[in-house]
Amino acid sequence: MRIESLRPAEHLGNVTIHGVRRFLELDSGASNLPHLQESREVEIVDQQAISDVEKKMAIVLPIKDEDLKVFEGVLSGIPHDCLMIVISNSSKQEVDNFKNEKDIVNRFCRITHRQAFVVHQKNPELANAIADAGYPELLGEDGLIRSGKAEGMILGIILTMFSGRDYVGFIDTDNYIPGAVWEYAKHFATGFNLAQSPYSMVRILWKYKPKLVGDLYFKRWGRVSEVTNKHLNHLISSKGKFETEIIKTGNAGEHAMSIELAKRLTYGTGYAVETKEIMSILEQFSGILPIEDREVAEEGVEILQTETINPHLHEDKGGDHLLQDMLLPSLAVIYHSPLADDAGRKMIETQLAGMEGFDAGTQIPQIKLIPPPQKMDLPKFSAIIEKYLPQIILPDGELFSRAGRPSRLPSLGQFKKIVYTDLDGTLLNPLTYSYSTALDALRLLKDKQLPLVFCSAKTMGEQDLYRNELGIKDPFITENGGAIFIPKDYFRLPFAYDRIAGNYLVIELGMAYKDIRHILKKALAAACAEIENSEKAGNIFITSFGDMSVEDVSRLTDLNLKQAELAKQREYSETVHIEGDKRSTNMVLNHIQQSGLEYSFGGRFYEVTGGNDKGKAIKILNELFRLNFGNIHTFGLGDSENDYSMLETVDSPVLVQRPGNKWHKMRLRNPSYVKGVGPEGFSRAVTDIIIPME
């Protein structure tokens, strides 16, 4: 994608609203053409980066008695890697439109080898699960989910959270142009690549919204959007010193959010939802009002706006629909906001008084608000809804398999213990790589059905070798958080992943090995040049696994030839051996950091990465464990500086002794110390700390 470079932005405290950026090219060509000099006026997001986001994104498709041919076209426009979530509130009476919609999706998914959630907004099982999970605000007096666009969107957010996706997008199903639908999804993925904050929203401005008035007339703006944008911009202007027209997407039905933002927002019912999203961001996170979520405040919230190339052509539902259903609710959430001033409220009153169908003097209604979806107990909802999955996941007969899942799940209120362990120097003897003295402890963990997750600098091949020898079937984290390997069918609920490797679903977090090698080569050359020109620096010897033969790696590490071969099969990190004085070594490490790479020391070697670490990977895996098991308590077993991010992230960090019977010094929250080097310390951690803890 080729898009205009960054536009001016408005900053309201912790909230950044970016100006509209036009898409210039929907396919910007190959990304590996370094000889091409790009204009400063454009920015490129390559296809791989877009694809990476699409694999982690769900697209919510709300539908209510739409033309089925148009609906089929919309399905065809959704990129293949996006999860489709169809939320229907269609008729189920004389003509069962919902059944027809479900049949269409079922056939489409079977032919295209995809999966989708298809639910009716009035599904009683979903309503009961939501109520039992502590989120009754979504329900009406009849105990079912209320009718309304916002309610359907929130149900889509809940199912996105359930699926483990990181992003959620919304696309209306009355769109006559499948190419426009495809473009919307590409805008979403591009926007999330451009965003700096994990709390981000992408809102789409249609280039044209054609109308049939005799001939096809390409109108630049929608009727409701013009009015809503004016009043949103007035509110923003009133909080700053300068007038602004930054908002162009006040009623953007096509928009997307990171799930971390979506689950935190307060929503307005019905068609107030899109405008209320902007108001909630300003009310909750700008700092104009007291902020409760400090985590979001520290990162900030970004609203990105992009303009399409395709026009947006949909059914015209008439002026009454626009005023009563769309414009009035949109203006009402601005009017009743604690951020609104008297002048802004007067403007809205005047606006409505001059519109046909609104009587002067009529009070502007309060819109019912729905609290953030994160209020709901997601593990409880997941446990309840699991038995209904055959009814809502398509195609029929191809549900997510339950094979290989733990035979016993903890009841709510209990904790599932999860054990993360380093390998070299912890489970494995630091000199011999033996685990023999830990076998009894390993059997004990297996008997108690406690997951044991390897979290090491070792490669996938190295770890898989030990896992097969020990009969361990749990996920594992490779190359200091470079990737998470999860056995197929291990988790009962679906989640987003980047690729499939044999029997594993892989979540990739690290930089590609070839890119690390390329950057590292330049950094080491610069470091050696500085050392050579320094009178105070001593001699230094540097070598990397990628530059060594299998035999050389074996001699340096004391690994056998098979293990050394597996150690060289790196995907997300490079192992570097440095011999030299402290000054020279520090020069090398400084150049590595200045290049944008990171390093950690494991006792013998430096592990160089693109910024991933064990702690980041553990946080992601913990979310999957919580989603599937409910409450968890995590243990981390390590011995060196290389384990710091793991030990800092878990609930109960445990340090085993290093050679010389000493513990590595590091600042941790409530660490435990066990005697014993390597597997001896591992065994004591299991028998003395992990198993006894209730």
Neighbouring C-beta atoms of residue 334, cutoff 10 Å: 25
Q: CB neighbours of 419 closer than 8 A, spacing ≥ 6?
A: 445, 450, 451, 452, 453, 634, 635, 637, 686, 690
Beta strands (DSSP E) in 534-693 are: 540-544, 573-580, 598-601, 606-609, 632-638, 652-657, 672-677
Dihedral sign, Cα of residue 361, residue 362, residue 364, residue 366:
positive
- Between CA 496 and CA 160 the distance in angstroms is 10
- Between CA 477 and CA 485 the distance in angstroms is 6
* Residue 422 annotated among the catalytic residues of the structure: yes
Q: Which residues pair with 681 in a beta bridge?
A: none
What H or E segment, with its residue span, contains residue 98?
helix 97-112
CA 244 to chain centre: 32
Q: Are 600 and 607 in contact (CB under 8 A)?
A: yes
Rg (CA), the chain: 28
Exposure string (b/e) for 669-694, b if CB count within 10 Å is 16 or more? eebbebebbbbbbbbbbbeeebbeee
- Between CA 488 and CA 504 the distance in angstroms is 5
Tokens at 451, concatenated: 């997951």
Tokens 């609906």 belong to which residue?
Answer: 71
Burial of 275 (0-12, 13-18, 19+ CB in 10 A): buried
Dihedral sign, Cα of residue 240, residue 244, residue 249, residue 250:
positive
- Between CA 32 and CA 237 the distance in angstroms is 43
Cα angle value 228/198/150 (rounded, 5°): 40
Q: Are 367 and 272 in contact (CB under 8 A)?
A: yes
Residues shown for the chain: 694
Set 422, 424, 464, 613: catalytic member = 422
Q: CB neighbours of 677 closer than 8 A, spacing ≥ 6?
A: 425, 429, 430, 656, 657, 658, 659, 661
Tokens at 225, concatenated: 């959007």
Positions marked catalytic: 422
